[in-house]
Chains A and B, each alone.
Chain A
Amino acid sequence: MSRREAGGASRPIRVLVAKPGLDGHDRGAIVIARALRDAGMEVIYTGLRQTPEQIARAAVEEDVDVVALSSLSGAHDTLFPRVVAELRRVGLDDRLIIGGGIIPAEDVPRLKEAGIAACFGPGTPTSEVVDYIRRAVGRPAKPKGL
């Protein structure tokens, strides 16, 4: 039994903040990680330069509810969908996956289609991200196959 099942609703929300690709700008990722921690969540930050495979492995090992991806290099269009695919491959197809960074508005529909639930751009208050995650994780999981 995973901690997710064992802990039930009372366990704090666990979040993996991850930097896929080669981008080294992690001010945003670090600020978000601190804000989520201050909001009572358990946060693991992967550090820079993670492959989609490494991110999926960390998500399994840390048994997280949420994977928050950050990229400011323009590689989101390739790498975010790759991370979603890897998470599905390792069986984490019911986790909330969100993105942040320099992501042009016109890319967002495609990312949503690929499984990124929401994208948060520059200037987003951290409280907005906190509220979003609480609402989304609090929601009952969709039955599989829908």
Chain B
Amino acid sequence: MYRKEELEAVSRARAAWEKRVLARALERVPEQRERFATHSGLEVRRLYTPEDVAGLDYCRDLGFPGEYPFTRGVQPTMYRARPWTMRQYAGFGSAEETNRRFRYLLEQGQTGLSVAFDLPTQVGYDSDHPMAEGEVGKVGVAIDSLEDVERLFDRIPLDQVSTSMTINSPAAVLLAMVVAVAEKQGVDPSSLAGTVQNDILKEYVARGTYIFPPRPSVRLVTDVFAWCSEHLPRWNAISISGYHMREAGATAVQEIAFTLANAIAYVEAARQAGLDVDAIGPRLSFFFAAQIDILEEVAKFRAARRLWARIMRERFGARDPRSWMLRFHTQTAGVSLTAQQPENNIVRTALEALAAVLGGTQSLHTNSMDEALALPSEKAVRVALRTQQILAHETNVGQTIDPLGGSYFIEALTDRLEEEAQAYLARIDGMGGAVAAIERGFFQDEIQREAYAHQLALERGDRIVVGVNAYQVAEEPPTAILRPDPAVAREQAGRLEALRARRDGEKVRAALERLGQAAAGDQNLMPPILEAVRAYATLGEICDTLRQAFGEYRAAAI
């Protein structure tokens, strides 16, 4: 970036400044600590100068937005063309209740939907299964069959609103249900825009909504890739997620490394299944956390973009520029929210959202202030959405692209994060890739160690969380906590009973049998799943059929 003489001059001037100015200042008032570090533990020096970016080659390492290696952003105009998609994750209770919340959010100016499913749905149990006890409709909407998805999207035009679904192990089933509903709405599936999370690998590391063992699960993932590349050109076939690993305790470096390691495993699996890297590359999307260390997060997003572009082009030989682009959704950090003085969470979320926008996110979920206490209330959700609208319309941060690009510190930190993540990737390659590393518990151990270190730092007071280990007040009990209607489990059970009596049982049986045969062989599972969904087979029935073919995954006790 600089000529040799310029750098030498800076170097001399810095040495002089340290001697004349800095030394005296330090004598008068010493710094607060000996070592300053990012949230993830990377050392932060007092000052960054052109010396710290001496190795940077602008065209090679930064380039221009919309061009390789996309460090500055994936689109040539970014938020000048249109702001990021404001997409609040929502869902609770029954499909009707969630449909009302969706329509409320759309009326309030939200621009995309993001469906939260309850845990029985996420692990493939019908609402009347014994394992579903106490969980129906709690952390998301309860879905048992196509009927429920019809209610979920009632009066929501699927060709106009893009829909993201946080569903992994049964992703193929829920995707089939959306396709079937679109057909019923008269919408051509090829015009559907949206995302299925469909990222099973991170479920074994964090979050835990797995059903089947890793290897058949990865087959389901690549079956969805193949089917989407043929039938749903505007649909993201996966959202490769660092978010949940970060929430479980991962550092920013680990978040980049483990997410991209999983992404590499999916691309390799897809290639083994005979798919071309440029057929699936453009439909891969990503999902990261925005933690509260704003500058580290901005550098993280930039480093992840550059590293993925290099991996896709250099390692996998992708030729389509869209395959090189790391497009991502961001959610502010749930773990940064405190149960103490919950109003402070509005501020935390706003700062994290700012980091996501400065980092060039494509879509954003902002957490609600009351989420360390319970499900978010309507008012809290509105404030969270308003936070994004204030960022988009009042702050002007989106007027220029990658506004922190070129900062000596941000560029040095971007380089450092990329290097550290690459070192992890080399170790993971050495273990035989992400699947093998996860099977031996490598990601899990690394993350748990960081989570515990974080807790100890809090308890020693090395790290301050306002309201938790400093600046406490006597807490007032929270009011107006949202509770899903407890009747939902009973209602869902009643509906299931009626559905099973009403539908064509023979058609369901035959569809499930064909699915079982397909699972035992190696044909793509999407067509038989679609057939079963259209026959109103339940989610539990479809997943049970697959359980028989694939077996179930059980994590070891420790």
Interface residues of A, Cβ cutoff 8 Å to B: 21-27, 30-31, 33-35, 44-49, 51, 58, 73-75, 77-79, 82, 102, 104-106, 121-123, 125-127
Residues of B within 8 A of A30 (CB): 448, 451-452
Answer whether A102 and B374 are a contact pair too, CB < 8 Å, given A22-B119, A49-B208, A123-B339: yes
Q: A24 to B209, Cβ gap below 8 A?
A: yes
The main secondary structure of chain B at its interface with chain A is loop
Residues of A within 8 A of B373 (CB): 102, 104
Q: A46 to B451, Cβ gap below 8 A?
A: no
Answer whether A48 and B208 are a contact pair too, CB < 8 Å, given A22-B120, A24-B203, A34-B452: yes
Q: Does B247 contact A (CB under 8 A)?
A: yes
CB<8 Å pairs between A and B, sample of 13: A23-B135, A24-B208, A31-B451, A45-B557, A47-B554, A47-B555, A48-B208, A48-B555, A49-B123, A75-B134, A78-B134, A104-B481, A123-B339
**Distance in angstroms between the alpha carbons of A91 and B372 in the assembled complex:** 35
Q: A105 to B478, Cβ gap below 8 A?
A: yes
Q: B374 to A75, Cβ gap below 8 A?
A: no
Q: Closest 10 CB pairs between A and B? A: A24-B208, A78-B134, A75-B134, A22-B119, A74-B138, A122-B339, A123-B468, A47-B555, A47-B557, A48-B208
Closest beta carbon of chain B to A68's beta carbon, Å: 14
Contact with A along B530-558 (1 / 0, CB 8 A): 00000000000000000000000011111
Q: Does B363 contact A (CB under 8 A)?
A: no
Closest beta carbon of chain B to A1's beta carbon, Å: 25
Contact with A along B437-455 (1 / 0, CB 8 A): 0000000000010011001
Q: B451 to A73, Cβ gap below 8 A?
A: no
Answer whether A73 and B138 are a contact pair too, CB < 8 Å, given A22-B119, A123-B468: yes
The B450-488 residues at the A interface (CB cut-off 8 A) are 451-452, 455, 458-459, 465, 467-469, 477-478, 481, 484
**Distance in angstroms between the alpha carbons of A58 and B458 in the assembled complex:** 32
**Distance in angstroms between the alpha carbons of A26 and B478 in the assembled complex:** 25
Answer whether A79 and B134 are a contact pair too, CB < 8 Å, given A35-B455, A126-B455: yes
Q: A25 to B374, Cβ gap below 8 A?
A: no
Q: Does B131 contact A (CB under 8 A)?
A: yes
Contact with A along B483-504 (1 / 0, CB 8 A): 0100000000000000000000
The B60-117 residues at the A interface (CB cut-off 8 A) are none
Number of B residues whose C-beta is below 8 Å from A?
A: 49
Q: Does B139 contact A (CB under 8 A)?
A: yes
Residues of A within 8 A of B340 (CB): 123
Closest beta carbon of chain A to B289's beta carbon, Å: 13
- Cβ-closest chain B residue relative to A51: B131
Q: Does B338 contact A (CB under 8 A)?
A: yes
**Distance in angstroms between the alpha carbons of A79 and B131 in the assembled complex:** 11
- Cβ-closest chain B residue relative to A125: B459
Residues of B within 8 A of A27 (CB): 206, 247-249, 335, 451
Of A47, A79, A106, the contact of B481 (CB 8 Å cutoff): A106
Of B131, B338, B372, B477, the contact of A22 (CB 8 Å cutoff): B131
Residues of A within 8 A of B6 (CB): none
Answer whether A75 and B203 are a contact pair too, CB < 8 Å, given A102-B372, A104-B374, A127-B459: no
Of B135, B247, B556, the contact of A73 (CB 8 Å cutoff): B135
Residues of A within 8 A of B394 (CB): none
Q: Does B207 contact A (CB under 8 A)?
A: yes
**Distance in angstroms between the alpha carbons of A32 and B467 in the assembled complex:** 21
Q: Does B141 contact A (CB under 8 A)?
A: no
Closest beta carbon of chain B to A51's beta carbon, Å: 7
- Cβ-closest chain B residue relative to A22: B119
Closest beta carbon of chain A to B371's beta carbon, Å: 8
Q: Does B522 contact A (CB under 8 A)?
A: no
Q: Does B353 contact A (CB under 8 A)?
A: no
Q: A121 to B557, Cβ gap below 8 A?
A: no
Residues of B within 8 A of A26 (CB): 208, 248
Of A45, A74, A106, the contact of B558 (CB 8 Å cutoff): A45
**Distance in angstroms between the alpha carbons of A81 and B4 in the assembled complex:** 72
Closest beta carbon of chain B to A86's beta carbon, Å: 13
Q: Does B133 contact A (CB under 8 A)?
A: yes
Residues of A within 8 A of B120 (CB): 22
| Other A-B pairs, 18, CB within 8 Å; known A27-B249, A44-B557, A74-B374 | A21-B134, A22-B120, A22-B123, A22-B125, A22-B132, A22-B135, A23-B208, A27-B247, A45-B558, A47-B554, A47-B555, A47-B557, A75-B133, A78-B134, A102-B374, A104-B481, A106-B477, A123-B339
Residues of A within 8 A of B123 (CB): 22, 49
Q: Does B303 contact A (CB under 8 A)?
A: no
Q: B375 to A74, Cβ gap below 8 A?
A: yes
Q: B455 to A31, Cβ gap below 8 A?
A: yes
Residues of B within 8 A of A33 (CB): 558
Contact with A along B218-252 (1 / 0, CB 8 A): 00000000000000000000000000000111000
Residues of A within 8 A of B459 (CB): 125-127
Q: A75 to B557, Cβ gap below 8 A?
A: no
Closest beta carbon of chain A to B15's beta carbon, Å: 45
**Distance in angstroms between the alpha carbons of A106 and B138 in the assembled complex:** 17
**Distance in angstroms between the alpha carbons of A122 and B373 in the assembled complex:** 8
Of B139, B208, B477, B557, the contact of A74 (CB 8 Å cutoff): B139
Closest beta carbon of chain B to A56's beta carbon, Å: 15
Residues of A within 8 A of B207 (CB): 24-25
Residues of A within 8 A of B451 (CB): 27, 30-31
**Distance in angstroms between the alpha carbons of A25 and B477 in the assembled complex:** 24
Residues of B within 8 A of A35 (CB): 452, 455
Residues of A within 8 A of B134 (CB): 21, 75, 77-79, 82
